[in-house]
Structure 1
Amino acid sequence: MEDPLHLNSILNLTTISTTVPLNASAGDLVTNATVSPFSVFEGCEEMEQGILFDLAVQTFNVVLGLPANILVIVILLHNRKEPSSSDLFLGCLAFMDAYFGIMVPFSYLNLYYWNSKEVWSALKFSYGVKDTSGPLFLSCICLDRFVAVLFPLAYGQLKAVKYRVALSMGVLTLTFAYASAKTIGGLHNFEKVFTGEILAAFSWMVLCNGAILMALKRSRGAGKDSMHPMKKKAFKMVVSVLSIVIFNYLPPVALFPLEDHYPPDTFRCLVQPVGYAFLNISSSIQPIIYLSRLEKVPFCPETFSRWCGFPKVKDKNVNVNINTASLAA
């Protein structure tokens, strides 16, 4: 018989239900000597490809995404005396992604050593946090940039930090409510909540970035065929970030609404892990995009910045605007 702990090493923890089969009686559970210990992987033994793909992405996030998100948090704290309007949202997003990365090693320990249902509950909570915090905080950043570019007068009136604190508290409330419900489990059609959320967030981010691109393209000087160099750089940055948003969110947006068209085990063991893998890699891509637009990383020597490929921008104002544009998605 294949060791059930071996199966634990190949499953995406975001996708599998852990309920005991409804047709199993108490007597059966006591008297059946072949009952396997607690496992979150039952039913996916024959469909490992998608699961292995998502596990590789999670490992990549631990190696690269976790230190990158910690560095983003340190930089934001270092620049707290001169923050940008989106720093609060970006800091919350980096903190949640760092928390998600920290929990992955615990999942390995639980797979190979603890095999604990209690630890699995804590892991489900972390995946619920990742499912909700990423799309919602990115949507908040998009909203901030959208208002700043298209409605600058209203943006000036709403620039007080209290509005962003209130919006962040609302997002955190929704995040922890969703994560708690995911941990408890047993809710009918609960996965459709995430499907609706990711569809709404993706549509909003594409709309915001598309509107920003159109506004930047129209904002050329009178009688000029070329765009201002600063706006041209911001335009290119928004295009690149929009491409990343599509890369991260389009697969789950395209796959998850078709849940009813797949056999249950195929959707649970193959389709969902692939969709979540594209979503999970955002924990690494987002901080790397932010760091790559910095003129110099604080606390690091200039040679390290050049070795990491950070651009050297002579005009500080241009650099600030490029960084702001990089947060548009």
Structure 2
Amino acid sequence: MAAGNVTAKAFSVFDGCDSQAEGILFDLTLQCVNVVVGIPANILVIAVLVRNRREPATSDIYLGSLAFTDAYFGSMTPVSFLNLYLWRSKEVWSALKFSYGVKDTSGPLFLSCICLDRFLAVVFPLAFGRLRPVKYRLGLSALVFALTLVYSAGKVAGGLADFEKVFTGEILAAFAWMVVCNGSILWALKKSGGVGKDDMRPMKRKAFKIVLSILCVVVVNYLPPVALFPFEDYYSPDVFRCYVQPVGFAFLNVSSTIQPLVYLSRLEKAPFLPVGRVPKRCPCLAGDPDNTPPAQNP
């Protein structure tokens, strides 16, 4: 009887941060943006990709997969609030942890795949031509989903030694890859200009804006956890779990809204909306919707 009481008391929907819930509530507040803006934006991204399926860009599979997982993650936010203040169910908390695992893994990996696709297209166009068939992207997407399921299952199971360091290593590797990848693309685009290539400048500008938009997302959403999580050992366990982690994850989680808005902002016209209704107020978000590099465009 006593053992049963200890087990029941050990479970907390606030993950042990009942008296230090400010960081968790900050994360959930930003996640509300995913519900109001992110879910409709991701559904619209999927609608655009379905509409353009006869003339797809090379990264559409990654973009569609990313939009799907982001919409799923956003749909779990109301469930999280209900479980915190109403249900207080351990089973629901396990489902929520699974959704967090999906977000932790699918976002960085699919964005890395998009960067890889553009990197090959701009820096190694011959290799990109050989790897253009859709089977390669389907295979890489399947691998990402498999890794996502394994990580999410491990997050639900819990009790694994140094499991959180897996995410820290993943986010560091993904961040480094995306920065190097986008930096290489920008450098290649800069070097490609020269005498007799004036006709390429408009397309170069579009490609530059596409890569710059991804770099903006990478810095805004991924730099905070990259800057905070490697220093876990310098914080007390409670401070790291209840404040540092939720705040770092908050910036990562709100990418479920920022990423689809970045894509939609590059469209000349969004489907189902009148011409000119797609906002393009931020220079970081302007560009061309096609993932095909300048050299591949007619």
Greater CA drift, 230-239 or 74-83: 230-239
SS of equivalent residue, structure 2 residue 76: helix
Greater CA drift, 107-116 or 201-210: 107-116
Q: Is residue 2:92 matched to residue 1:92?
A: no
Corresponding residue for 1:44? 17
Corresponding residue for 1:211? 184
* Superposition RMSD in Å: 2.3
CA contact (8 A) 2:26 2:250 kept: yes
CA contact (8 A) 1:69 1:97 kept: yes
Please say which structure displays the higher CA radius of gyration: 1
Q: Return the letter of the residue paired with 2:57.
A: S
TM-score normalized by structure 1? 0.81
- Per the TM alignment, residue 196 of structure 1 is displaced from its structure 2 partner at its CA by 0.4
Q: Deviations over 1:26-55 (max 9, x none)?
A: 52544x9xx759522264244343223211
Whole-Å Cα distance in 2 between the matches of residues 98 and 104 of structure 1? 11
SS of equivalent residue, structure 1 residue 242: helix
Q: Return the letter of the residue paired with 1:75.
A: V
CA contact (8 A) 2:269 2:278 kept: no
Corresponding residue for 1:6? none
Greater CA drift, 47-56 or 281-290: 47-56
CA contact (8 A) 1:38 1:116 kept: no
- Per the TM alignment, residue 269 of structure 1 is displaced from its structure 2 partner at its CA by 0.3
Query: Which of 170, 183, 206 is equivalent to 2:156?
Result: 183
Q: Percent of pairs identical after alignment?
A: 65
Corresponding residue for 1:18? none
Corresponding residue for 2:296? none
Q: Return the letter of the residue paired with 1:287.
A: P
- Could you tell me which runs of 5 or more consecutive residues in structure 1 were left unpaired when the two chains were aligned: 1-25, 312-317
Greater CA drift, 113-122 or 129-138: 113-122
CA contact (8 A) 1:135 1:201 kept: yes
SS of equivalent residue, structure 1 residue 143: helix
Structure-2 change in CA distance of 1:38 and 1:265 (3 Å): closer
Whole-Å Cα distance in 2 between the matches of residues 85 and 220 of structure 1? 24
* Larger relative helix fraction: 2
- Per the TM alignment, residue 56 of structure 1 is displaced from its structure 2 partner at its CA by 1.1
Matches within 5 A, 1:237-248: 237-248=210-221
Q: Return the letter of the residue paired with 1:213.
A: L
Whole-Å Cα distance in 2 between the matches of residues 123 and 42 of structure 1? 12
Matches within 5 A, 1:188-199: 188-199=161-172
Corresponding residue for 2:284? none
Whole-Å Cα distance in 2 between the matches of residues 74 and 148 of structure 1? 25
Whole-Å Cα distance in 2 between the matches of residues 42 and 141 of structure 1? 34
Corresponding residue for 2:88? 115
Which runs of at least 4 in structure 1 moved beyond 6 Å after TM superposition?
A: 223-227
Corresponding residue for 1:140? 113
How many residues are matched? 287
Q: Return the letter of the residue paired with 1:27.
A: A
Q: Is residue 2:277 matched to residue 1:307?
A: yes
Q: Return the letter of the residue paired with 1:297.
A: A
Query: Which of 266, 281, 287 is equivalent to 1:293?
Result: 266
Whole-Å Cα distance in 1 between the matches of residues 15 and 263 of structure 2? 39
- Could you tell me which runs of 5 or more consecutive residues in structure 2 were left unpaired when the two chains were aligned: 282-286, 294-298
Q: Return the letter of the residue paired with 1:267.
A: F
- Per the TM alignment, residue 235 of structure 1 is displaced from its structure 2 partner at its CA by 1.5
Q: Is residue 2:129 matched to residue 1:159?
A: no
Q: Return the letter of the residue paired with 1:112.
A: Y
TM-score normalized by structure 2? 0.89
Corresponding residue for 1:277? 250
Q: Return the letter of the residue paired with 1:166.
A: G
CA contact (8 A) 1:125 1:182 kept: yes
